[in-house]
Structure 1
Amino acid sequence: MDPTQFLQDGAVRISNDTYAVCRTDYSHPTAFATVQDDTETTVVVEAGEAGKIDADEVESGWKRLTFEMDLPFELVGFLARVATELANADVSVFVISSYSTDHVFVKEDDLDDAISQLEELGCIILNRSDGG
């Protein structure tokens, strides 16, 4: 499978919310995502929730871009293609993959550059004015 066929005319929704990525020892019931491994727990929460978390470190100011498409497990190179294009624009990413899609977080200051790069890949950007 070619990632290009998923990117061309693929919808990417920009969340209205801004997020914080927190290193903590605990999960949080309202977290967008919780990732726990042997050494730490990371929670991604809406920015306003970050102050309610007992966190060792907090990185705020992230916008979520969700690829609104079912991405099959056999698809090779999708995130590599996206990350490479964003890296070419000097945009740092934080990525969370769910069962069927990917969520790419970019800093608010980099959002316009990220949108431009995704549009060059053929993506259709859905944003706040589209009900996102």
Structure 2
Amino acid sequence: MDPHDFLEGATVSVDDGAYAVCRTDRPDPNAFATVQDETETTVVVDEASPTVAAATDVERGWKRLTFDVELPFELVGFLAVVASALADADVSVFVLSAFSTDHVLIKESDLDTALQTLDGLGCDVRRG
């Protein structure tokens, strides 16, 4: 399977919200995403969340791009193609994957460049 086949025509939705990636002492039940391991807890929350003020470390100004395409688990390299193309465009990413959906957070200041790059990969980019 070629990842480019899944990118061609894939819908990428841009969430209207602004997100913060926070290192916290505990999960936030209202977080978009929580990653917790033995050493730290990271939550992705709306920038207006009270968690932002209480966090140990905060990175603000992220936009969420969602790939509305279901990918088979045996597909190799989908995110590598996306991340490489964005890296070539000098766009930093924070990637989150759910069971059947991938999300890429990019800095708001890089949004236009990221969307042009994804369009160049054949994606159907939709704002709001």
After TM superposition, the score normalised by the length of structure 2 is 0.97
Closer, same or farther: CA 67–53 of 1 in aligned 2, 3 Å: same
Separation of aligned partners in 1, 2:50 and 2:11: 29
Which residue is equivalent to 1:66? 66
Determine whether 1:20 maps to 2:20: yes
Decide which moves more: 64-73 or 47-56: 47-56
Match of 2:6 in 1: 6
Tell me if the contact between 2:52 and 2:58 (Cα under 8 Å) persists in the aligned partners: no
Q: How does 1:79-118 map to 2 (within 5 A)?
A: 79-118=79-118
| 5+ residue gaps, structure 2 | none
Percent of aligned pairs with the same residue? Answer: 59
Count of matched residue pairs: 128
CA distance in 1 between counterparts of 2:3 and 2:72 reads: 11
Partner of 1:76: 76
5+ residue gaps, structure 1: none
Structure-2 separation of matches of 1:127 and 1:33 = 21
Q: Residues of 2 paired with 1:52 and 1:4: CA distance?
A: 37
Deviation at 1:29, TM superposition (A): 1.2
Give the C-alpha shift of residue 7 in structure 1: 0.3
Is the counterpart of residue 48 in structure 1 residue 66 in structure 2?
no
- State the alpha-carbon separation in 1 of the partners of residues 124 and 39 from structure 2: 38
Corresponding position of 1:57: 57
